[in-house]
Amino acid sequence: MNAMLVCIQELVANIALHSRRPNGAPTVKVGIQIDATGIGVCIEDNGQPFDPVKQAPINVETDLASADVGGRGVRIVRQLAREMSYARVGEWNRVRLEIA
């Protein structure tokens, strides 16, 4: 459950911080399915197209002074999710996660 919460928080925060629409803030939908095989999460937003799966992994520096700002949220989600996929469906970004 903690992994699910962190993934949802990171992805929704990215949408809130970075997604832009000409007529205002994007709409975000979150769906969760829990069964014996794990947790499925689907996050959809109608902001500009953004595929987090295609984002290049960031280098993680060992000291804070050398670290770049940003990029860690997607990295955290990749580490916590067993699977992550993206699709652009009409005007919607759709990210699906499977969490063990």
Domain boundaries, the chain: 2-99
Residue 67 has pLDDT above 60, yes or no: no
Q: What is the mean pLDDT of residues 27-39?
A: 95
Q: What is the mean pLDDT of residues 59-81?
A: 73
Phi, psi of 78 (to 5 degrees): -60, -40
Q: How confident is the model at residue 24 (pLDDT cuts 50, 70, 90)?
A: confident
Q: How confident is the model at residue 32 (pLDDT cuts 50, 70, 90)?
A: very high
pLDDT at 19: 85
Residue 81 has pLDDT above 90, yes or no: yes
The beta-carbon contacts of 38-41 under 8 Å, at least 24 apart in sequence, are 38/82, 38/98, 38/99, 38/100, 39/1, 39/3, 39/4, 39/97, 39/98, 39/99, 40/96, 40/97, 40/98, 40/99, 41/4, 41/7, 41/8, 41/96, 41/97, 41/99
E strand intervals along 23-77: 28-35, 38-45
Residue 54 has pLDDT above 60, yes or no: yes
Q: Class of 2-99 per CATH?
A: alpha beta
